[in-house]
Amino acid sequence: MQVTETSSEGLKRKLKVVVGADELGARFSAHLDKIKDQVQLKGFRKGKVPLAHIRKVFGRSVMNDVLQETIRETSSKAISDRKERPAMMPDIALADGASEIESVVAGTADLAYEMSFEVLPEVVLADFAGLKLERLVAEVEDAQLEEALADLAERNKVFASQAGREASEGDRVTIDFEGSIGGVPFERGAGENLQLVIGNSGFIPGFEDGIKGAKAGEARDVTATFPEAYPVAELAGKEAVFAVKIKDVEVPAKAEINEEFAKSLGMEGGLDELKGLVRAQLQRELDQASRMKLKRELLDALETAHDFELPPSLVAREFEAIWRQVMEGLAREGKTFADEGKTEEEARAEYQKIAERRVRLGLVVGEIGDKNKIEVTQDEMRRALMEHARRFPGQEKNVYEYFEKTPGAVQELRAPIFEDKVIDFVLEAAKPSERKVSRQELLDSLERVADA
């Protein structure tokens, strides 16, 4: 194999690779030797077909396989020998002339092809100790805790029956019902002892309005229409009549935050245990907000501290992915760039910069990980997969199968774990200063970061 560099401009490379006809012939013969014992043709026992006959029948097909394998192996070796890291898979261009290609397939000419690719730039890492970073530290305030407990009490209202009460907004009713369309009951259209809070939109439009004013013991017919986008096609857009029996009407009362309330939520330690759990959850949220702000600050610092040429192909691929999401979002919302107060050209320039930032930071984060041997362990991947699967109750098996069969999806799980480990490594070296702030100051700073 002979490799000649025909062009080198910035990160772009072009190589000409020539594989001699004699080497192709040796590869071709080796391939025939591999398959001869498996070949079965009419008139011959398996493995007993003469090699000359195999060459005559399968020669062209075998040579095509040999050429593909040769190009794959030699192009990889050419890059490896040069100790270069391609940004993406190289483009391979064979000779244009049909007669030349035919001669190569026939084994009478050398295989020559040109490969074009971009190499990853050299990333010289900055001194992380010189990064000026500040970690904002906020603690849960008593007022925040009281607000969270009040919200918890609001979401866990207690209901009490009230004789003669006409069902109204916010009341909880217990009902039996049977639905029909055109007088014919439909599947899964009936229920008993269903508890429904009026105003929570737990039923199809019109149903809750239809039982307002009803009292316990009353029966009435309620007419309601299934939405056009209802997931059951047979019911979508259809008007249904529900025969409803009101069994109970209960009025809501805000739960008192006391020992009894805490124990009703499973807190054996009573109110102190509940307050401790709520405070810990609130603190986790504040710590998360602090990390998000610090992480953005760190990524900004890393981008500023590293300046190198970016592979155009990587930037183009990143831009296309971003642009596709933007266009899909606009289409989904029925908007245009004019609604956003900008032209398409301005939007493209804005997202081009975002694409460049992502590529630059991706290369920097990858280099930090490689240089410092930061890896994602199997246990970390397993935990991430389990956590992801828990988001889809009842579909866990399908989630696991998807990740087993989709290699790219596994990378989606690995990437954020790897990035967080790199961030932790850099923060350890940078030793950010700390400043105590109020909860509101922390949230305001996070908002400013999001708007930047």
Q: What is the CATH number of the domain that holds 190?
A: 3.10.50.40
Beta carbons within 10 angstroms of residue 75's beta carbon: 20
pLDDT at res. 231:
85
HSE-CB at 211 with a 13 A cutoff on CA atoms is: 36
pLDDT at res. 55:
63
pLDDT at res. 110:
87
Pairing of strands 134-137, 433-436: parallel
Residue 332 resides in a domain: yes
Question: Rounded distance, CA 169 to CA 445, Å?
Answer: 39
Classify 223 as helix, strand or coil. Answer: strand
Q: How far is CA 220 from the centre of its chain?
A: 48
Are 278 and 152 within 8 A, CB to CB?
yes
pLDDT at res. 137:
96
CATH number, position 105: 3.30.70.1050
Q: Are residues 228 and 302 in the same domain?
A: no
pLDDT tens, the chain, 452 aa long: 899 999 999 999 999 999 998 888 888 888 777 776 666 666 566 655 555 655 666 667 778 888 889 999 999 999 999 999 999 999 999 866 666 777 877 777 888 899 999 999 999 999 999 999 999 999 999 999 999 999 999 888 888 899 899 999 999 999 999 999 999 999 889 999 999 999 887 789 999 999 999 999 999 999 999 999 888 888 999 999 999 999 999 998 878 899 999 998 999 999 999 999 999 999 999 999 999 999 999 999 999 999 999 999 999 999 999 999 999 999 999 999 999 899 999 999 999 999 999 999 999 999 999 999 999 999 999 999 999 888 888 888 888 888 888 878 888 899 999 999 999 999 999 999 999 999 999 999 888 765 55
- Sequence-ordered strand ranges (E) for 261-388: none
Are 182 and 189 within 8 A, CB to CB?
no
pLDDT at res. 201:
79
Classify 94 as helix, strand or coil. Answer: strand
Are 127 and 426 within 8 A, CB to CB?
no
Residue 403 resides in a domain: yes
Q: Residue for token digits 């970390």?
A: 380
pLDDT at res. 450:
59
Q: Residue for token digits 């828990």?
A: 390
Dihedral over alpha carbons 81, 87, 88, 92 (to 10 degrees): -50
- Whether the pTM exceeds 0.75: the reply is no
Q: Are residues 187 and 52 in the same domain?
A: no
Beta carbons within 10 angstroms of residue 314's beta carbon: 21
pLDDT at res. 63:
80
Residue 259 resides in a domain: no
Residue 248 resides in a domain: yes
Q: Which domain holds residue 38?
A: 2-118
The maximal CA–CA distance of the chain, rounded, in angstroms, is 100
Q: Are residues 421 and 298 in the same domain?
A: yes
Residue 8 resides in a domain: yes
pLDDT at res. 42:
64
User: How far is the CA of 112 from the CAs of 18, 409, 436, in angstroms?
Assistant: 4, 37, 66
Q: Quote the tokens at residue 415.
A: 């990437």
Are 122 and 287 within 8 A, CB to CB?
no
Are 268 and 420 within 8 A, CB to CB?
no
Beta carbons within 10 angstroms of residue 144's beta carbon: 20
Question: Rounded distance, CA 186 to CA 201, Å?
Answer: 21
2-9 sheet: strands from edge to edge? 2-9, 12-19, 111-118, 91-94
pLDDT at res. 308:
95
Q: How long a stretch of residues is the chain?
A: 452
Render 414-438 in DSSP notation, one character per residue: HHHHHHHHHHHHHHHHH--EEEE--
Beta bridge partners of 70: none
Q: How far is CA 33 from the centre of its chain?
A: 46
CATH number, position 391: 1.10.3120.10
Q: Are residues 411 and 347 in the same domain?
A: yes
- The count of structural domains within the chain is 3
Q: Are residues 174 and 60 in the same domain?
A: no
The residues near 337 (Cβ < 8 Å, ≥ 6 apart) are 330, 343, 344, 346, 347
pLDDT at res. 180:
95
